[in-house]
Amino acid sequence: MWKAFYYLPSAYKNQFLSPKSLKTLQEKRLRYMVNHAYRNTSLYRSKFEAAGITPSDIATLEDITKIPLVTKEEIKAVFPDGIIAPGFSESNCKVETTSGTSGSILKILFNYEAWNRLKAIALRNYFAHGIRPWHKFCIVCSSPGEYESVSSSPFSRTVGVLEKNSEPLAEDIRRVNPYVLGGHPSTFFGVCRAIERNDITGITPRIVLIGGEVAYPGWRDYIEKILKTHTINKYGAAEMNSVAWECDHGSMHIDADSVIVEFVKEGEQVAPGERGEIVVTNLWNVAMPFIRYRLGDLAAPSDEPCCCGRGLPVIKELEGRLDDVVVLPSGGLIPCTRMCPLLHNTPGIAEFGIIQDNPSHVVIRIVPRDEFTEDVENTLHDKMQNVLGSSVTIDIKRVDHINRDKKIKFKRIQRTFEAHVP
């Protein structure tokens, strides 16, 4: 992991390149990745052939729209033989997985040069806020897998804690006493409510990094008020690593030296200020190429430069679904990241969806396989009850299929009633 520091000087320099120079860098890497993917993966070769194009047709960023879009489902369908380049495997790559909060998990392989370059770019973003390797870093992890990956952090004093109910989680954070606190904003909102309600002291991070979901209006202000610090927004994806990050002037800068970000609506790139679906191209991962990959998130691009002096382009508004928490009768919030790992780790579940029709009732819809026996269902029910508490009634309903909204990311939690969320 320390090899990432080898690439840090160039990553630091790249952020201050002019937009024209960044475009030149992107086009050079795009041409390389397109040629590589076409020659070494059957998925992209078939995509190009179906569109009637060859790598020679892709020379500029404007040409990228000629390439068909790619979805997670298409990649999963051909994994590993149709998407992993020859010479690469789990034995010689860094292996990551998507969070699974969309109801679908994808395994991702990174060749180590790409992984270290991408980590250097993530480090650049931390360094811009004064975070250094010797600072104590506490990451609130949403799953055991994420918890286990904490050991690969370049910050030697990084501690992982697993998400749990707000009061014990607040005590865990107080015990660690970190300089930097990182995790989901909904998690920290719940922790701050517990701090205020129970008059907990001794939690004094200098910086709170938030990501993984879009914060509700007022969440950041409340977190900053209770913790007496400032929050920094970051946007990433397991398939890309860092995608965008917030500078000291409040702009969300795209990591244009590692990823091409498009904003697409009905197949066309949108104008500045207009909302579109985020489509990404990883410029470095040759082990498992991602070219014009649909993340499903919504955002609006900006054409305004930032006064911080960086040439990195800016996202004007990063949008997301505000239905990814269960609202308890007490007003407390349980993020989906507390529930989805339980569902993913339960045998016999093909797909799932969560519906909350009132503060005291949650329905978990499950497409079962043979392994989903009555005993397994009862065990899952008990685990979910432990997460949500006794004030919520949980019904598990077996269904034949889960309806999905193809326009945006699969909603993890559908709430059918109006709830006041600050």
Query: What CA–CA distances, in Å, run from 417 to 364, 366, 414?
Result: 16, 21, 9
SS3 179: coil
Class of domain 325-415: alpha beta
| Of residues 328 and 411, more confidently modeled | 328
What are the φ/ψ torsions at residue 33 (nearest 5 degrees)? -65, -35
pLDDT of residue 407: 35
Q: How far apart are CA 63 and CA 57, in angstroms?
A: 7
Work out the pLDDT band at 68, boundaries 50, 70, 90.
very high
Question: What pLDDT, in 10s, does the model give residues 88-111?
Answer: 999 999 999 886 655 568 999 999
What fold does the segment set 2-120+247-319 form as a domain? Answer: Rossmann fold (3.40.50)
Question: What pLDDT, in 10s, does the model give residues 76-87?
Answer: 999 999 999 999
Reply yes or no on whether the pLDDT at 353 is more than 90: no
Element (H, E) at 299: strand 293-302
The encoded tokens of residue 9 equal 């000087």
**What is the pLDDT of the chain when averaged over all its residues?**
89
**CB of 234 closer than 8 Å to CB of 208:** no
Q: Single out the residue of 48, 50, 115 nearest to residue 288, CA to CA.
A: 115
SS3 192: helix
Query: What CA–CA distances, in Å, run from 189 to 129, 130, 142, 178, 195?
Result: 22, 24, 15, 17, 10
Q: Is the dihedral of CA 61, 62, 66, 68 positive or negative?
A: positive
Q: Single out the residue of 29, 17, 23 nearest to residue 284, CA to CA.
A: 29
pLDDT of residue 226: 96
Strands ordered across the beta sheet of 268-269: 158-162, 137-141, 180-183, 207-210, 230-237, 241-246, 252-254, 314-319, 293-302, 276-282, 259-265, 268-269
Work out the pLDDT band at 178, boundaries 50, 70, 90.
very high
Question: What pLDDT, in 10s, does the model give residues 1-40?
Answer: 678 999 999 999 999 999 999 999 999 999 999 999 999 9
DSSP states of 323-365: --EEEPTTS-EEEGGGTHHHHHTSTTEEEEEEEEEETTEEEEE
Task: Provide the residue ranges of all domains of the chain, joining segments of one domain with +.
Answer: 2-120+247-319, 129-234, 325-415
At residue 320's C-alpha, the angle toward residues 314 and 322, to 5°, is 145
Work out the pLDDT band at 287, boundaries 50, 70, 90.
very high
CATH 3.40.50.980 fits domain 129-234: yes
At residue 404's C-alpha, the angle toward residues 400 and 410, to 5°, is 125
Reply yes or no on whether the pLDDT at 278 is more than 70: yes
Reply yes or no on whether the pLDDT at 422 is more than 90: no
Let me know if the fold of 129-234 is the same as that of 325-415: no
Residue 48's Cβ-count burial label (10 Å; 0-12, 13-18, 19+) is: buried
Q: How far apart are CA 234 and CA 211, in angstroms?
A: 5
The encoded tokens of residue 224 equal 């900053």
DSSP states of 61-127: GGGGGGSPPB-HHHHHHHTTTTTSPTT--TTSSEEEE---TTS---EEEE-HHHHHHHHHHHHHHHH
SS3 292: coil
Lowest mean per-residue pLDDT among 231-235, 241-245, 343-347: 343-347
The encoded tokens of residue 178 equal 């970190």
